[in-house]
Chains A and B, each alone.
Chain A
Amino acid sequence: MKNSTVRIVRNILDDLWRFLKIMAHNKVGFIGFLGIIGFILLTFVGPYFVPLSMDTQITKIYKPPSAEHILGTDFQGRDIWMQIVHGGKDVLIVAFLTGVISTTIAVTLGSLSAVLSGWFDWIIMWITDIFLTIPNFPLLAVIAVFVKLTNVWALALILSLLAWPSLTRSVRAQVLSLKQRDYVEAARTLDLGIRHIIFSEILPNMMSYIAISLVFSMTSAIYAQVALVFLGLVPFASNNWGVMLSLSWARGALYYKDSLLNIMAPVMAIAFFQLALVWMTRSLEEIFNPRLRTSV
């Protein structure tokens, strides 16, 4: 009994080690991966160590970095580092939800569209074509006026509704090329059914592609989300990178030398998170595509 638990734990550790080794194969990708881990720890574990206090402290307005406030204080005398630690949660959760929802829709519709072809394919392609030409962000801004996007789920849902068309197109293109492969032809001659062909033959072969699409839809979700919050179109609770950006911009934090960090801290947090996501895709490519690993 005890032995088997040990074995399971060891297996998991082995897998984890192998995973890390592959991730580390691509240096840029590994830096991105570490960055993502860092951001996850910062936003989900960090708040336990850095208590949140959003009270105004008039004596501490725009203090430069010091031992007490490593990133200085903002226009109301509140610690900036504390706000960065607490402000990532919404951003990360919305990005992740949007990524998962839109990728799920895109993979389902894109692969069905490629496998079924005919009128279904035709309709889906028309819809994606139309959505691709409507500028996303203005549409989002207009919708945000009518639909109250007050919680992360509503926001993620709206963002996904706008994100799936472009992903669907590329998933369809991938499936179309995979469809021509011999093993899929073989499965079809054996009459194994659409479910089997999609889930056992085609999807496993495009895992890297799906993972990368997920990451890219996360980056565009962050783009749109922070922008909406920045423009004041999405009312969100006080501590959020987008709200920090919006408030510090509106309060003119850029005009004083000591307040520079008030604006640059959220800018850097968002920019580094985006960059880490994009860089991580390089390692993801190698994880899901063994051929890349051996050839390098």
Chain B
Amino acid sequence: MTEAIHTSNAQRVLPSAPSILKAIYRNFLLRRLLKALFTIFVVITITFFIIRLMPGNPVDIYVQEQINLYSMTYEDALAQASAMFSIRLDQPVLSQYFDYIVALLHGNLGNSYKSVGTPVATMIAKFLPWTLFSVGLSLLISFTLGMGLGMLMAYRRETILDYILSTIGSILSSVPNYLVAMTLVVFLGVQWKLVPLAQMRGSLSPGVEIGFTLKFISDALFHAAFPIATYVLTTVGGWMLTMKSSTVAALEEDYVAVARARGLPDSRIMTSYVGRNAMLPLFTQLAISVGFIVGGSVLIETIFVYQGVGKMLIDSINQRDYPVMQAVFLIITISVILANLLADFLYSWLDPRIRNVGGKGA
């Protein structure tokens, strides 16, 4: 009797499997989290098949090199390659793939090929913070600046100010960022000698200790100034134009008219009514923008010789340091996915409508 009650209770309390799935699907944040995990999994799969199955894969090249250079036996070379790529090469491809994922889950990214014995993870820990710092700060600056200027353009639309800002915005957003970077170097750094370019190379001056000191922060900003200027210049145009059009759209909404009729102060209408709603399309764009900036860091960091993951990727590509290459690509992608997740969370905080609608909002 008691048992029967117990089971019927359990049945009532525990929802069946499909309804759990449904609940997850309905929950915006959970859905996004699952999608992020799945995307990371896909990227890991892609990188695995690129390093293992593409023609001219690094594993075969490495094994061949070891045999030719050091007249190693095939088995020895294989064992060494296995240690480096953290894949057991004597296994069939599917179980190699499995091993690779298990190794990654343990944080084992393999060892560098050129600087022998250095774990890739250590190298990434050294380079990644600089990219996160410069890219993060420039996103913040260009997002805020673009939003402000966009709103200004919308409020003063069809004036000379709007015309000038629109033209500048459209020019800035259509010129590739590496060309802007080169132009900055050529004119500010070399021809007009306005900034000490040689001293600005790298991510930190020698002798400056990492810590929460004024010296460290100002030196870090000094070295990141050029990359940040480039990222801001090339992305601010897009934000401005999007913000302008969405602000113009928001200004025509009924709730703004009602707010005006209620006699609310203009500043309050501008921030809580127009601004908050006009910002929403920018957050959806943030996802694409983060990927683009981080991707662009590969070029920008190379041009300014800034020691971030972007330059690390290109260096490893040029040296054919495959384990580093693959790990950096993975890290870059994961940081973009995490940034997107953050943008989604911010979006759902700004726009409560999409939180629990279940597929309708996204």
Which A residues are in CB contact (< 8 Å) with B328?
138
Task: Decide yes or no: A138 and B42 within 8 Å by CB, A227-B178, A274-B174 being known contacts.
Answer: no
Q: Does B190 contact A (CB under 8 A)?
A: yes
Q: Does A92 contact B (CB under 8 A)?
A: no
Q: Does B299 contact A (CB under 8 A)?
A: yes
Contact B175 A271 (CB under 8 A): yes
B88 to chain A, nearest CB (A): 22
Assembly CA distance A271 to B172 (angstroms): 10
Q: Between A and B, how many residue pairs show CB distances below 8 Å?
A: 122
Beta-carbon nearest neighbor of A275 in chain B: B174
Q: Does A45 contact B (CB under 8 A)?
A: no
Interface string of B25-43 (1 = CB under 8 A from A): 0000000000110110011
Assembly CA distance A287 to B314 (angstroms): 43
Interface string of A151-180 (1 = CB under 8 A from B): 000000000000000100000000000000
Contact B50 A142 (CB under 8 A): yes
Contact B294 A135 (CB under 8 A): yes
Interface string of B275-302 (1 = CB under 8 A from A): 0000000000001100110111011001
Which B residues are in CB contact (< 8 Å) with A233?
317
Which B residues are in CB contact (< 8 Å) with A142?
47, 50, 317, 325-326, 329
Residue of B36, B56, B182, B313 near A249 (CB, 8 A) is B182
Assembly CA distance A136 to B317 (angstroms): 16
Q: Does A119 contact B (CB under 8 A)?
A: no
Assembly CA distance A147 to B35 (angstroms): 29
A32 to chain B, nearest CB (A): 10
Contact A267 B42 (CB under 8 A): no
Beta-carbon nearest neighbor of A143 in chain B: B50
A252 to chain B, nearest CB (A): 10
Which B residues are in CB contact (< 8 Å) with A219?
174
Contact A137 B42 (CB under 8 A): no
Contact B298 A278 (CB under 8 A): no
Assembly CA distance A145 to B287 (angstroms): 27
Residue of B42, B57, B191, B333 near A135 (CB, 8 A) is B333
Task: Decide yes or no: A133 and B50 within 8 Å by CB, A227-B178, A232-B318 being known contacts.
Answer: no
Stretch of A79-87, A199-207, A257-265 lying at the B interface: A257-265
Q: Number of residues in B with C-beta < 8 Å to the partner?
A: 53
Q: Does A33 contact B (CB under 8 A)?
A: no
Contact B35 A129 (CB under 8 A): yes
Which A residues are in CB contact (< 8 Å) with B310?
138
Beta-carbon nearest neighbor of A268 in chain B: B179
A182 to chain B, nearest CB (A): 23
Q: Does B183 contact A (CB under 8 A)?
A: yes
Contact A263 B295 (CB under 8 A): no
Residue of B170, B179, B292 near A271 (CB, 8 A) is B179
Contact B295 A138 (CB under 8 A): yes
Assembly CA distance A260 to B185 (angstroms): 12
Which B residues are in CB contact (< 8 Å) with A146?
50, 54-57
Q: Does A223 contact B (CB under 8 A)?
A: yes
Contact B186 A133 (CB under 8 A): no
Residue of A133, A145, A275, A279 near B291 (CB, 8 A) is A133
The B-contacting residues of A in range 215-249, CB under 8 angstroms, are 219, 222-223, 226-227, 230-233, 245, 249
Interface string of B334-345 (1 = CB under 8 A from A): 001100100000
**Most chain-A CB neighbours within 10 Å: which of B54, B174, B178?**
B174
The A-contacting residues of B in range 1-50, CB under 8 angstroms, are 35-36, 38-39, 42-43, 46-47, 50
Beta-carbon nearest neighbor of B36 in chain A: A133
Which A residues are in CB contact (< 8 Å) with B182?
245, 249, 254, 263, 267
Q: Does B320 contact A (CB under 8 A)?
A: yes
Beta-carbon nearest neighbor of B296 in chain A: A137
Which A residues are in CB contact (< 8 Å) with B35?
129
Q: Does B265 contact A (CB under 8 A)?
A: no
B110 to chain A, nearest CB (A): 15
Task: Decide yes or no: A264 and B186 within 8 Å by CB, A129-B39, A136-B295 being known contacts.
Answer: yes
Contact A263 B186 (CB under 8 A): yes
Beta-carbon nearest neighbor of A276 in chain B: B174
Contact B176 A227 (CB under 8 A): yes
Q: Does A49 contact B (CB under 8 A)?
A: no
Task: Decide yes or no: A227 and B299 within 8 Å by CB, A254-B185, A255-B190 being known contacts.
Answer: yes
Beta-carbon nearest neighbor of B185 in chain A: A254
Q: Give 9 A-B pairs besides A130-B42, A133-B39, A249-B303 with Cβ atoms closer than 8 angstroms.
A: A132-B287, A135-B294, A136-B292, A146-B54, A147-B55, A274-B174, A277-B174, A278-B170, A279-B170
4 nearest A-B residue pairs (beta carbon): A135-B295, A137-B295, A278-B174, A146-B54
